[in-house]
Amino acid sequence: MRKIRVTRSVIPNLFTLMNLFCGFMAITRIAGGEFMGAAGFIVLAGWFDVMDGAVARLTKSTSEFGGELDSLCDAVSFGVAPAFLLYKVYFQTLGDIGVVIASLPALAGVLRLARYNVQSAVNADKRYFRGMPIPAGALTILSYTLFYHIGSQSALIPQEWKSGAITLVTLLVAGIMVSTIKYDAVPTPSARVFREKPLLMAYFLLGVILTIASKGVLLFPFMLSYMLIGLVRGSYNFLKTYNDIEEDEDTIEEEF
């Protein structure tokens, strides 16, 4: 009888599959109208998403298979589940067009994951993501929907603006995920990272502290700042590149 070989890669892959299981549980909670419970499962999926990579590095069992499995699970937990939340909370009232709009973060997230996998295969710069990562998109949608559309902070937005606001957030998240704007990767906390990137580490730690202290209320403003930082930096780099091209063209014309 042939023996079944159990390798070290099984351990991180189990963490990855728990990410998927949490995403599935979130969908079942959303279907039952338990939106806060669903949010808890999506956040837990994020924890497993972080841990599977850490465990893979610890056990020295990183692999292409593990990376592909991670992307498939992320597509459900951070793409389909938040999109379904948007549909149940508001977009189901718009009929078929609501289905299309609510699906956009999931579609954009899957496209972004596919692009990330291709870039990783050719050793792209690991310090940055091209387009906002799909877990960040999920957190943006969750925090806005649960606290500012239907939750404790919903009074801050006039009722007549709410349909436009949630549509804007949905389109903005989907668009930024498929954009080529650079976003900082969340660094793994370590003494070396604190020395090399003190401002970046302080920024993310501040976001975690504010989110916990406010019981989630300040997560959306933090995610909004994360999106805006990328947009401002992307706009600056675009203008700088455009000006450099114009200067080069002027120099060529002068030579002739």
φ, ψ for residue 184, nearest 5 deg: -65, 135
Q: E-assigned strands of the chain?
A: 128-130, 182-184
Residue 236: the pLDDT is 82
Q: CB under 8 Å to 227, separation ≥6 — which residues?
A: 132, 140, 172, 176
Residue 144 CA to residue 146 CA, distance in Å, equals 6
Residue 7: the pLDDT is 63
Q: CA Rg, the chain, in Å?
A: 21
Question: Which domains are seen in the chain, by residue range?
Answer: 10-189 (1.20.120.1760)
**In degrees to the nearest 10, what's the CA dihedral of 165, 106, 142, 51?**
-150
Specify the pTM. Answer: 0.87
For the chain (length 256 residues), average pLDDT per consecutive 10? Answer: 59 91 97 95 93 81 84 95 96 95 96 87 69 94 95 89 95 94 78 80 91 94 93 82 62 54
Residue 151: the pLDDT is 86
Residue 25: the pLDDT is 97
Burial 176-205 (b: 16+ CB within 10 A, else e): bbbbebbbbebeeeeeeeeeeeeebbeebe
Cα-based angle 165, 213, 79 (whole degrees, multiple of 5): 45
Residue 120: the pLDDT is 73
